[in-house]
């Protein structure tokens, strides 16, 4: 491995990702596993080991302690698939287009009621030009680089959802 691990940079780290590696860290710590990712901030490695019983054991090796990283083998298709789906939230969009349209309209109304500038762009809602809400328009579907706006909008959507569910309880 050329040079210090934490100085390699994202493009170099990416070359190790999804491969089985052996990491030597500290004085005498050795860890083996499939490299899921390297944190670009701390250079820490996330190693996965898939057990036979379906469990996954996860090792996090801190970047500052890494002495050496050795590639052991390339992944087969099954392992690659498991690596790519690890920790990824399951997204199931079971709503039909009519339901989505209704949800979009009600959310747009709600945001406008709260004096938030919102525009419809196809299937997406754009808030103040800096935040995007994708279908199915839950708090987790908001996308923005502005944390403060993101937090405010997510809270508003959350409020709308809880208001709707109490309404439903009332009519039942």
Partner 1 sequence: MATPVPVLRLPKGPDPNSRGFDPNSPRFIALCRTSISTSAASELDPEELQKEQHARSVLREKFLRCLFAMTNKQVYFNLHEKVKVEATFGASDIDVLNFQVSDLHTPIGVQKEALIRSRDVISCHFDV
Residue 65 CB contacts under 8 Å (≥ 6 apart), including other chains:
25, 26, 29
Which residue of 44, 69, 125, 160 would you call a contact of partner 1, by CB under 8 A? 44
Range in contact with partner 1 (rule: CB under 8 A) among 34-42, 98-106, 116-124, 126-134: 34-42
Applying CB under 8 A, does 148 fall inside the site for partner 1? no
Two tokens, residue 37: 């990712």
d(CA 23, CA 45): 9
Two tokens, residue 56: 């996954």
Closest CA to 142 of 122, 163, 156: 156
Which residue of 4, 29, 101, 123 would you call a contact of partner 1, by CB under 8 A? 29
Name the residue nearer to partner 1 (CB basis): 9 or 117.
Answer: 9
Which residue of 2, 3, 52, 55 would you call a contact of partner 1, by CB under 8 A? 55
Where is 166: in which H helix or E strand? helix 147-171
Which residue of 1, 65, 80, 100 would you call a contact of partner 1, by CB under 8 A? 65
Pairing of strands 124-127, 66-73: unpaired
Applying CB under 8 A, does 1 fall inside the site for partner 1? no
Contact residues: partner 1, CB under 8 A? 9-11, 13-14, 17, 25-26, 29, 31, 36-44, 46, 55-62, 64-65, 87-89
């Amino acid at each position: 491995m050329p040079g210090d691990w934490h100085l390699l940079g994202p493009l170099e780290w990416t070359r190790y990702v999804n491969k089985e590696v052996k990491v030597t860290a500290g004085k005498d710590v050795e860890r083996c596993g499939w490299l899921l990712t390297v944190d670009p901030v701390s250079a820490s490695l996330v190693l996965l080991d898939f057990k036979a019983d379906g469990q996954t054991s996860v090792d996090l090796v801190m970047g500052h302690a890494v002495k050496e990283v050795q590639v052991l083998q390339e992944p087969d298709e099954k392992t690659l698939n498991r690596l790519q789906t690890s920790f990824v939230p399951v997204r199931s969009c079971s709503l039909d287009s009519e339901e989505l349209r209704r949800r979009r309209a009600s959310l747009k109304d709600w945001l406008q009621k709260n004096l938030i500038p919102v525009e419809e762009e196809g299937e997406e809602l754009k808030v103040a030009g800096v935040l995007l809400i994708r279908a199915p328009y839950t708090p987790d579907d908001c996308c923005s680089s502005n944390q403060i706006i993101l937090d405010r909008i997510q809270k508003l959507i959350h409020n709308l959802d809880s208001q709707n569910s109490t309404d439903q309880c009332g009519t039942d």
